[in-house]
A and B are shown apart, each in its own frame.
Chain A
Amino acid sequence: SQQGEEDPQALSIQEGENATMNCSYKTSINNLQWYRQNSGRGLVHLILIRSNEREKHSGRLRVTLDTSKKSSSLLITASRAADTASYFCATAISGGYQKVTFGTGTKLQVIP
């Protein structure tokens, strides 16, 4: 079963608008990662936030993490057509292992 569930499943916005995606998970985590996938290709890592962090920024990306609610959000500001992709959250549990579980993904379409 999926550890993470993204919401919404699909999102369509106009270029220049902000896009927000949410991720909920079930168990305690070591870190949470967001990835982007363009049209059935490999995943590209966007940002990693650790369980003791609440917010992280990278360029136009802002990620928040609320461990009490077991949820995270990814905000993309001033979206561009090139941001059109599927976005996945992935949770890593503690233990030094690479046991990462991916969510179901959000398909973002940015209309020029």
Chain B
Amino acid sequence: KAGVTQTPRYLIKTRGQQVTLSCSPISGHRSVSWYQQTPGQGLQFLFEYFSETQRNKGNFPGRFSGRQFSNSRSEMNVSTLELGDSALYLCASSLVPPETQYFGPGTRLLVL
């Protein structure tokens, strides 16, 4: 089975712009979670989607949003980018929550 894929892998944006990141889970996995990783804050949970419904949300401002499609693919969007949004964004999928998560390689976002 193919692993979790994330696109793009690297992204450079400027403050005020918006960005959309994409995640394709392992085939058959219906749960997709997103995490933000920064040196200062570590791994922070953003949100989890299951069957197109957001079931959990972390402590992030409303500028961070996401969605899941009927094929379980997920996107997350960050609007009005700030310098502090520079991070590695990781997507993970699982078959049956809260079981083992399989992570993608991440999207490294740099906000200038």
**Interface, chain A (partner B; CB < 8 A):** 2, 30-31, 33, 35, 40-45, 48, 88, 90, 92-93, 95-105
Interface of B is mostly: strand
Say yes or no: is B103 at the interface (Cβ < 8 Å to chain A): yes
Task: Among A41, A93, A97, A102, point to the contact of B43 (Cβ < 8 A).
Answer: A102
A29 to chain B minimum Cβ distance, whole angstroms, is 9
Give A99 to B97 CA distance when docked, in angstroms: 8
| Given A40-B88, A41-B105, A105-B42; A98-B100 close (CB under 8 Å) | no
A-B contact count (CB 8 A): 71
Q: Which one, B48-56, B67-75, B76-84, is touching chain A? A: B48-56
Contact B100 A97 (CB under 8 A): no
| Given A96-B97, A98-B48; A45-B56 close (CB under 8 Å) | no
